[in-house]
Each structure stands twice: as C-alpha cells, then as structure tokens.
C-alpha cells in the first residue's frame, strides 16, 4: 500500500515539475531568467513553509551546517537557471533528455569529489549513457549548439547539487534541506532583480506565482514519495517526464523530438536504470555485510524537478 502511494506521489510530482518547466519556458520568452527564477523560488516558500509546519515547525530549521545549505542552494540555483535557459534555447523534450545525464555525471564525479569507488559495472553504464548523450546532441552534424551545451552544464551543476544534498542528508531532515534551499535561492536570485527587472503584466505575475506554487507542490510530493517507498521503486518513474515534455512541447510550441533524441534518451535512461539497480544491490549487500567494495550513493534522479 505504501509503495503504491509512493509511486502515485512521484507521478504527481513528475507531472507538476513538467508544468513548472513549461511555465518557465513560456515566461523566459518575455521576462529575464533572474526574475523568473526569483518568483519561482519566492512563491515556493509558501508550500515549503507548510511542509515545515507539518514536520514540527521552526525547530526543524536547527542546523549546524548552514554553510552547507548555502552552498547547496547556490549550486542548485545555478543548475535551475541553466535548466530554464536550456528550455528557452531548445525544444523541451531535447532539454529534458539531456537532463537525464545528471546521474551519469554524479557517478563519474563521485570518484574525484567524494573519494568513492566505482566498479567496472557502473563505469560501463556511464560510458553507455554518455554514448546516448552523443546520440542526442550529434556533435558531428553541428547539433552541439548553445542549447545543448547549456543543458549539459545544467546536468553537471545538478550533479554537484545532489552531492551536496547527499552530504547534508547524513544529518539533515529532507524538509530542512528543502526550506533552506528555497529561502537561500530566493535571496540569491533577488540580488539580480534591480539590474534586470521587467514589470510583469497581471497575466505574467499570475503565471510566475503559479510556477512557484506548482514547484513547491512538486517538491512536497517528491519528498513524500521517497518517504513512502524505496528509491529503487520510486526513481524510475522520474523518466516519465520525457512523455510530458514531448506532449507539452508539441501542444504549445509545435515541437516534436527527432528520432535521434528519442533513441539517445532511451540509451541514457537505460544506463541510469542500470546504475540504480547496481547501487541498490550494493546497498542491500552493505546492509548485510559491511565489506562491499563500492560505496552506494543512490539518489533521486529528478533533475530540474527538485529545483
């Protein structure tokens, strides 16, 4: 029962993140990214505060790692801005497909940054995944354009954010991390407002408010999903976002991903699932025997969504 509720919660989160991304793409055509990002975070403070109240109130904000929360917010905000920019520069489905490379960067970067050991199985999955990325961007045919580079940069930044989140997760409750991320991201994005401010219309303001509320709701359902069911059960449903990206891209912008994008996305998704399966097995082995040669770091795969 709890697993089925977790799956439903994740599917709701994925849908809400897809709506958020579509709103960001639409608004970025008329407003500066800094302004769009500010309102996305500012209005997300409302559901974040509601989550905090449900988790025990302001005492949940007690932390000895305020600097870690600030760093996680800074790198997460960087990833968010780059992701929104990639939606503006290229079709939604293409940008989402590239975002699936984040777990690959996470696995590769965990070796030099976190000092973890990655065995040949996972390195093989990473190699296959990056081959899928090459299929998507087709660098030999001039497809490695600004949008693709921005999308890949967003994935790298998100991988760093997930590493920061993993380190915080050793001592911090999820709701604490979510609230500090939202609060710090709001403050950081506000710094640029005096330089880029464009007075929003009533419709624009309503859409930016909706974007923040939808984003906060998506964070709630994603957090709830991982509380109700294991990551191995929940994480694969994140890949349903490619379906929503294709649908929204076609309905609102007349975009449909090329065959190479769909093929590359399938390869990247398969490699991500292989990494997840391997890490889940390693984690199970570590729980029963503390001699596992690899350190597990299974993390949510929701790119652009946990932002």
pLDDT at 213 exceeding the cut of 90: yes
pLDDT averaged over every residue in the chain: 84
Query: Helix, strand, or coil here: 138?
Result: coil
Helix/strand number for the chain, H first, E second: 13, 0
Q: For 90, which DSSP code?
A: S
DSSP code string of 67-123: HHHHHHHHHHHHHHHHHHHHHHHS-HHHHHHHHTTHHHHHHHHHHHHH-----HHHH
Query: Contact, 162 vs 102, CB < 8 A?
Result: yes
Q: For 290, which DSSP code?
A: T
Q: For 294, which DSSP code?
A: S
Share of the chain above pLDDT 90, in %: 42
Cα separation of 172 and 247, whole Å? Answer: 37
Instruction: From 274, 299, 290, select the one nearest 121 (Cα to Cα).
Output: 274
The string of pLDDT tens digits covering residues 172-184 is 888 888 899 999 9
**Mean pLDDT on 93-101:** 91
**Mean pLDDT on 143-152:** 82
Instruction: From 185, 155, 206, 196, select the one nearest 177 (Cα to Cα).
Output: 185
- Residue 115, judged by CB atoms within 10 A of its CB (0-12, 13-18, 19+), counts as exposed
Cα separation of 78 and 75, whole Å? Answer: 5
Query: Contact, 133 vs 264, CB < 8 A?
Result: yes
Q: How far is CA 4 from CA 221, 222, 233, in A?
A: 13, 14, 10
Query: Contact, 216 vs 47, CB < 8 A?
Result: yes
Cα separation of 43 and 39, whole Å? Answer: 6
pLDDT at 214 exceeding the cut of 90: yes
Rounded to a whole number of angstroms, the CA Rg of the chain reads 19
Instruction: From 266, 34, 295, select the one nearest 131 (Cα to Cα).
Output: 266
- Residue 155, judged by CB atoms within 10 A of its CB (0-12, 13-18, 19+), counts as buried
- Residue 101, judged by CB atoms within 10 A of its CB (0-12, 13-18, 19+), counts as buried
Cα separation of 3 and 302, whole Å? Answer: 18
**What is the number of residues in the chain?**
307
**Mean pLDDT on 19-31:** 94
Least confident of 66-80, 93-107, 161-175: 161-175
The string of pLDDT tens digits covering residues 223-259 is 788 778 777 677 788 888 999 999 999 999 998 888 9
């Amino acid at each position: 029962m709890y697993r089925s509720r977790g799956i439903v919660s994740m599917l709701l989160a994925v849908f809400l993140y897809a709506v958020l991304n579509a709103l960001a793409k639409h608004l970025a055509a008329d407003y500066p990214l800094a302004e769009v990002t500010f309102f996305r975070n500012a209005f997300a403070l409302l559901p974040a505060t509601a989550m905090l109240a449900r988790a025990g109130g302001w005492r949940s904000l007690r932390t000895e790692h305020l600097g870690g929360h600030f760093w996680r917010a800074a790198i997460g905000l960087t990833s968010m801005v780059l992701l929104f920019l990639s939606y503006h520069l290229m079709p939604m489905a293409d940008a989402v497909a590239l975002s699936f490379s984040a777990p690959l960067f996470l696995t590769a970067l965990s070796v030099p940054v976190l000092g973890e050991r990655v065995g040949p199985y996972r390195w093989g999955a990473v190699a296959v995944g990056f081959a899928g990325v090459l299929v998507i961007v087709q660098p030999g045919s001039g497809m490695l354009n600004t949008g693709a580079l921005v999308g890949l940069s967003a994935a790298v930044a998100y991988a760093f954010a997930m590493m920061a989140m993993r380190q915080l997760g050793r001592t911090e409750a999820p709701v604490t991390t979510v609230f500090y991320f939202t609060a710090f991201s709001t403050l950081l994005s506000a710094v640029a407002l005096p330089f880029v401010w464009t007075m929003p219309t009533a419709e624009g303001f309503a859409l930016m408010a909706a974007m923040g509320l939808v984003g906060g709701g998506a964070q709630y359902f994603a957090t709830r999903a991982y509380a109700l069911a294991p990551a191995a059960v929940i994480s694969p449903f994140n890949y349903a976002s490619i379906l929503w990206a294709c649908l929204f891209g076609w309905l609102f912008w007349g975009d449909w991903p090329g065959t190479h994008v769909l093929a590359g996305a399938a390869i990247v998704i398969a490699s991500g699932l292989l990494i997840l399966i391997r890490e889940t097995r390693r984690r199970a082995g570590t729980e029963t025997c503390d001699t596992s040669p690899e350190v597990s770091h299974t993390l949510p795969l929701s790119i652009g969504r946990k932002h």
